[in-house]
Structure 1
Amino acid sequence: MRFSLLFSFVIVVGLCSYKFSEAREPVCSKFAYEEQLLEKMIRTEIKVETMVNEFKKTEDNVISTLGDIKQTVADFTDMFADMRGNITDEMLKRGDEIKRREESFKTSFEETRKNLTSDIEAEKEKLFQLQGKLEQPPIAFYAHHLKDLVLDSTNEILIFEKTFTNEGTGYDTSTGLFTAPVRGLYQFDVHTCTLNDKYANPGLVLEGNIIAAHAHYGDAIHSCGSFGAIIRVRSGEKVWVKSTSSGSNRQLYQGYHWMNTFSGVLVSY
């Protein structure tokens, strides 16, 4: 279609050119005129055909080039899509890794904070307890001089009615009972003397339970003996000394060189 239109256009242009130049050419015979006209038409057709071929080649080159460009663009598009996909996947992976590490760090930090807080609270509690211990007055007593020497009743409490020391006021001289002001480890000691030809069976008692005991006999002269215990006592618990047996031959003795004593001291909290 394009060739036919182009050929027609060339024919018309040729004819017009011929008419303009016809007046300048000398008048020849009818056959000479037709020969010249045919020759010009052939030359024109050859030129037109050459031009059409050139246009065709150019068109093919353009189409081929456009195809190459289109393919190149498609290749770049695919390559860019692949690169973008790879970059996106890598970014997502990196993002997930960063998020995982962040969560791990938060968890580790929170555990460390809790442990540190717990340790600090424990140390503070220890310090408070130590401060309380330092502020606590010393607890110790040393009592002597029995109120009653005759042991005529089993479970009779031996009341030491005088004290040399009563730090913390835990010992009661009217009852013979020591009441622990604070809980802790205490050491108690009992020393008693027996009249000659008499027996004694004193025992150390914690809240009704005998925790230490002793028996001794005064043969020809007065006799003394000692015993004791180290025990843990809770705050408010009571400790005392009692006779574990009774009878007419059970009697204690006291004098300048024969002193009956009951003592106790807080060793540690």
Structure 2
Amino acid sequence: MALARVGSGHERMDNLKGMAWMVLAMLSFALTDMVLVFATRALPVAQVLVLFGIGGAVLFGIWARVQGHHWVSPVLLMRPVMLRNVAEVLATVSFVFALSLIPLSTLSAVIQANPLLVTLGAALFLGEKVGWRRWLAIGVGLFGVLLIVQPGAEGFDPNIWIAVAAAIGLSLRDLATRPVPRSVPTTLLASYSFGAVAIAGLAMLPFGAGWITPTPGMAFLVLAGVLMGMVAYFSITAAMRVGEISVVTPMRYTRLVFAFAIALVVFDERLDPLTLVGVAIVVATGLYSLWRERQARRILTAP
């Protein structure tokens, strides 16, 4: 009995550590988003993509090399990895464009549909079994997204559909990650993704405002944003390794809290009541879907 108590105590402590790592990851992501908002106000979007893409590709590439992995690897030509890179480009390009056009709070609210979209995609494309309760949660959650988007409302901003594209891209990236062999180091995956984003930014440069030499302050800010992205990556990896996935994953929603706080304090944004209702519905249905998935796994693994 004493051993059982010690074991459960260790599990609780590990889960608390995992939750703390996940919260740190979400704070780092929110701060990176803030940096991106400032960057897109001073530089063309394509240039922001190039700077962040090259910075992330180089730093994650160095990290992978320190781990003993070579950047030029057959992994780069794996079909799931290539699909993941395409999805990353869709997600990041849409996300950064959306940041330059709509409020941070609105974009952050829309991308909270990601867990529901991943569940939907897993059922449609990967053959994952989803019960009627989770299907209902997906339907209600998508209704919540409509409350956030508010198509047809007076003053509707069509640029919000770019945020929807970002949410879809993030979900496709997560789905494309699942078939990637576990032997593939995540540092390499991250470096390849950033490299793909940099290439996309370079391809877009001729169609924008060209290249603007960043001030030393802006260059430092971009570097800080890339480093915060690395902190987020390390923290989310640590969270998944230390705690139970079903326990630490709901902490992803703390990103919304940090994003709203930054939007309110730094950018003086306000959310209308209908949007807040939509956010509450999306978060509630996302948490319920995660809980149902956990219950289903327990039944499958029960002796």
TM-score by length of 2: 0.22
More strand as a share of residues: 1
Q: Which has the higher contact order (CA 8 A, sep 6+)?
A: 2
TM-score by length of 1: 0.24
Larger Cα Rg: Structure 1 or Structure 2?
Answer: 1
